[in-house]
């Protein structure tokens, strides 16, 4: 049996990108509050810089993106303006979000907003309250208390002053030595990412999970859903009483699963990237899989066993093998990313580790 791996990989790659979607995050906060540091801590270094130098339209948030990334960050300005100017800018901003919300393409909506307030300021400004009230009418707002080092009751103050916020999260994005014995650790980033993930619309959730670099756990959980869906599809495919069809049907399902998992880990994948992983790591296993399925399929046609018994056996096996493959791939990526401290491994590194993980 001949599988056109490169063709299947190309289709799987396109499907995975479509299924991942695109997420738009609006970030607001006074000058120096820690927006860029927060963005770096959540999405990685190279992100916050890319939009600079573009012409600025007064009141309009500036987009920051990176080629191949499923995320655009919208940098909202104006919180430090005088009352009159601020009111005008805020109207423009609400109009901007509302217009996008009415767009038929959900990937262009602004999905969530982070309003940053410096913990050291010790108070919530009138402009911040107005911003939260206005924006919360058109999208979910999370208040981020930045440079969180000494709460002293500010968390409660923020929660009661900004009742429209879905959540108020304390973060410290930059580790800092207070003196030779004391250090402020980076904290709160994972919590912010968890809270935000739940607020993003379902169709853009995977994009957010893929773009964030703060929680591997969030990626692993997203992948568990991908694996369950693929296992179910594999079971259904194998249950059809057509001999020799299983392997043909299973290969695209499994490559599709690998593509979706790759995209959730934010791998800058290409057809070549996928083909490398599939060819070197699954290549051998696919042949074995095909063999096994032909055997289980044959059982369906043995008198006495009946098609149901054969079907159930094949379906169960197909689902189990697909799950095992998915779990092995997720473990491969999770371990590699942990080892490289977030740096993206190469296709060859992944393929090599995946092969070992599969015991091939």
Question: How many angstroms separate the CA atoms of 19 and 106, rounded?
Answer: 12
Contact partner, 44, from Mg ion, ligand GTP, none, Cβ < 5-8 Å per class: none
The verdict on 29 binding ligand GTP (CB under 6 A) reads yes
Contact partner, 147, from ligand GTP, Mg ion, none, Cβ < 5-8 Å per class: ligand GTP
| 31 versus 185: smaller Cβ distance to Mg ion | 31
Contact partner, 29, from ligand GTP, Mg ion, none, Cβ < 5-8 Å per class: ligand GTP
Question: How many angstroms separate the CA atoms of 171 and 177, rounded?
Answer: 16
CB of 278 to ligand GTP, least distance (A): 41
Contact partner, 172, from ligand GTP, Mg ion, none, Cβ < 5-8 Å per class: ligand GTP
Residue 351: which H helix or E strand, with range?
A: helix 347-357
Under a CB-based contact definition with an 8 Å cutoff, are residues 274 and 12 in contact?
yes
Question: How many angstroms separate the CA atoms of 216 and 218, rounded?
Answer: 5
CB of 296 to ligand GTP, least distance (A): 56
The verdict on 76 binding ligand GTP (CB under 6 A) reads no
20, 100, 147, 355: residue in contact with ligand GTP (rule CB under 6 A): 147
User: Nearest-5° angle of CA 127, CA 132, CA 138?
Assistant: 135
The verdict on 50 binding Mg ion (CB under 5 A) reads no
Question: How many angstroms separate the CA atoms of 64 and 74, rounded?
Answer: 6
CB of 22 to ligand GTP, least distance (A): 23
Contact partner, 31, from ligand GTP, Mg ion, none, Cβ < 5-8 Å per class: ligand GTP
Question: How many angstroms separate the CA atoms of 153 and 345, rounded?
Answer: 43
The verdict on 173 binding ligand GTP (CB under 6 A) reads yes
The verdict on 326 binding ligand GTP (CB under 6 A) reads no
Q: Which stretch, 34-42, 129-137, 220-228, 322-330, contacts Mg ion (CB under 5 A)?
A: 34-42
The verdict on 167 binding Mg ion (CB under 5 A) reads no
Q: How many CA within 13 A on the CB side of residue 59?
A: 14
Going from the C-alpha of 304 to that of each of 69, 238, 307, 310, 311, the distances in angstroms are 55, 20, 9, 10, 13
The verdict on 190 binding ligand GTP (CB under 6 A) reads no
The verdict on 36 binding Mg ion (CB under 5 A) reads yes
CB of 166 to ligand GTP, least distance (A): 21
Going from the C-alpha of 123 to that of each of 127, 131, 152, 154, the distances in angstroms are 12, 15, 12, 8
What b/e sequence results for 48-58 when a residue is b if at least 16 CB atoms lie within 10 Å of its CB, and e otherwise?
A: beebeeeeeee
Binding site for ligand GTP (CB under 6 A): 29, 31-37, 146-147, 172-174, 176
């Amino acid at each position: 049996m001949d599988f056109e791996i490169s063709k299947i990989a190309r289709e799987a790659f396109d499907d995975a990108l479509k299924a991942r979607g695109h997420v738009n995050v609006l970030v607001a906060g006074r000058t120096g509050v820690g927006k860029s540091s927060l963005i770096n801590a959540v999405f990685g270094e190279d992100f916050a810089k890319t939009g600079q130098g573009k012409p600025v339209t007064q009141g309009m948030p500036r987009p920051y993106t990176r080629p191949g990334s499923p995320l655009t960050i919208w940098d909202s300005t104006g919180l430090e303006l005088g009352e009159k100017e601020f009111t005008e800018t805020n109207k423009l901003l609400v109009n901007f979000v509302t217009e996008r919300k009415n767009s038929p393409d959900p990937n262009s909506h602004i999905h969530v907003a982070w309003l940053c307030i410096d913990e050291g300021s010790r108070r919530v400004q009138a402009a911040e309250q107005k911003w939260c009230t206005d924006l919360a009418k058109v999208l979910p707002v999370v208040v981020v208390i930045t440079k969180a080092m000494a709460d002293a009751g500010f968390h409660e103050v923020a929660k009661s002053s900004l009742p429209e916020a879905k959540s108020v999260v304390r973060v410290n994005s930059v580790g800092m030595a207070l003196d030779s014995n004391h250090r402020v650790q980076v904290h709160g980033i994972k919590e912010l990412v968890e809270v935000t993930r739940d607020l993003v619309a379902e169709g853009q959730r995977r994009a957010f999970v893929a773009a964030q670099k703060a929680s591997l756990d969030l990626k692993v959980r997203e992948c568990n859903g991908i694996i369950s869906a693929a296992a179910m599809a594999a079971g259904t495919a194998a249950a059809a009483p057509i001999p020799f069809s299983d392997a043909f049907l299973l290969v695209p399902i499994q490559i599709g699963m690998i593509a979706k998992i790759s995209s959730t880990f934010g791998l800058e994948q290409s057809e070549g990237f996928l083909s490398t992983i599939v060819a070197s790591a699954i290549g051998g296993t696919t042949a074995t899989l095909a063999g096994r399925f032909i055997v289980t399929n044959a059982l369906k046609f043995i008198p006495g066993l009946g098609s149901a018994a054969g079907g159930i056996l094949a379906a169960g096996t197909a689902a189990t093998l697909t799950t095992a493959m998915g779990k092995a791939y997720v473990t491969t990526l999770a371990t590699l990313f942990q080892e490289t401290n977030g740096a993206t491994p190469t296709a060859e590194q992944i393929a090599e580790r995946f092969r070992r993980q599969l015991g091939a």
